[in-house]
Structures are given as C-alpha cells and as structure tokens.
C-alpha cells in the first residue's frame, strides 16, 4: 500500500473503491539532493508526502538573510508537520509561496495534486471527513508553533524538543 494512503487511514476509513480512486491519482516522484522542489514565488500545487529522504523549507528576508522555516522528513522522530513538503496556505489559496523547498538528501515523495484532491473530496463524504481531520491537525500544529514562538524564549523552546518528539497530539486526537 502507498505510504501516503497508509498515513491517511490514521484519520479515517476509506472504502475499497475510494482507496482505488485515490491511488490512481497519486504520483510518485524522486528529487536528488540539492534539488529545489518549490521556489519562493511559485504556487504550491501539490501535497507532497515524504516517503524517504529529508528536505528543508526556508525563506529569505528583505536583507537577503536566509531563515530555515522547517525540516521535513519521515522517520521515527517525525511529527505531523514533518511528513509534508507543503506550503499549506499557498496550496489552499493557490497564491505564491514565500518559501523555498530544497531536498537535503535524495528525497522520494507521493504527490496529490490540488485538482485531484478537490475532486476526491467532492465525491466522497469519507474523504471530506478525512480532509477535515487533517486540516484540524495542521491548524493545531501551526497554532502550537505560533504560541510557542510568542510565549517561550529560545532556550525554553529548545528544552521542550524532547517532550514534543515523545508525543504527537495531532494523532492522539483521532
């Protein structure tokens, strides 16, 4: 079974016909280390689920300084926000992303194009429910990150990393 489909099933049930329909529209891609997967200013048109490898998202401020936004990977230490190579806001609004995504090492992904995602959700109540649950988890992740950045200093955030890795509340709230 496709790793992305397996991941999705943590959020809800899809019947055999829905699973077949989904697997027919998913695209498998490989990116070599150093490859720019999405350039800042481009629109994020796919949900890319990381199967293997590592990537980084970053932005460049007006002075030219580069800031890492996130590291993206799929391994034992992954949380919800690490699995996806995606600027969710750009994806939802189909507006340009301020982020650049680059493969740190050879990276394999399963991609779900926006037009296929929207059609899939429109055709299946199970898919719509699953999408809603995943959107809730994405919101919780962003909210937690924003709250932490606004309320904790860098040392306190660093000291929380082991606790954050031990528990993934997004998946516990199924």
pLDDT tens by residue, 29-41: 999 999 999 999 9
How long, in residues, is the chain? 174
Average pLDDT of the segment spanning 51-69: 93
Could you tell me which residues are beta bridge partners of residue 71? 56
Using pLDDT thresholds of 50, 70 and 90, give the confidence band for residue 112.
very high
pTM listed for this prediction: 0.78
How far apart are the C-alpha atoms of 13 and 34, rounded to whole Å? Answer: 37
Using pLDDT thresholds of 50, 70 and 90, give the confidence band for residue 134.
confident
**Residue 174: predicted pLDDT:** 39
pLDDT above 70 covers a percentage of the chain that reads 87
**Residue 163: predicted pLDDT:** 58
Mean confidence (pLDDT) of the chain: 85
**Residue 164: predicted pLDDT:** 56
C-alpha dihedral sign at 94, 121, 131, 50: negative
pLDDT exceeds 80 at position 168? no
How far is C-alpha 105 from the chain's CA centre? Answer: 17
Could you tell me which residues are beta bridge partners of residue 58? 68, 100
* Segment among 58-72, 76-90, 137-151 with least mean pLDDT: 137-151
Rama region for 12: left / alpha / beta (φ>0; ψ in -120 to 50; rest): left
Which is more confident, 103 or 3? 103
pLDDT exceeds 80 at position 93? yes
Other Cβ atoms within 10 Å of 125 Cβ, number: 9
pLDDT exceeds 50 at position 170? no
């Amino acid at each position: 079974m496709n790793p992305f489909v397996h991941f999705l099933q943590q959020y809800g049930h899809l019947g055999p016909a829905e699973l077949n329909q989904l697997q027919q529209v998913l695209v498998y891609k490989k990116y070599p280390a150093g490859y720019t997967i999405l350039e800042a200013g481009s629109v994020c048109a796919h949900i890319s689920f990381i199967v293997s490898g590592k990537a980084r998202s970053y932005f460049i401020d007006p002075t030219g300084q580069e800031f890492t936004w996130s590291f993206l990977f799929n391994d034992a230490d992954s949380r919800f926000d690490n699995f996806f190579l995606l600027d969710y806001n750009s994806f939802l609004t189909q507006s340009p992303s301020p982020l650049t995504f680059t493969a740190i090492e050879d990276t394999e992904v399963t991609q779900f194009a926006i037009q296929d995602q929207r059609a899939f959700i429109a055709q299946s109540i199970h898919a719509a429910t699953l999408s809603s649950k995943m959107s809730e988890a994405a919101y919780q992740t962003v909210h937690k990150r924003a709250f932490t950045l606004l309320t904790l200093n860098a040392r306190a955030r660093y000291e929380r990393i082991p606790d954050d890795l031990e528990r993934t509340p997004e998946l516990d709230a199924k």
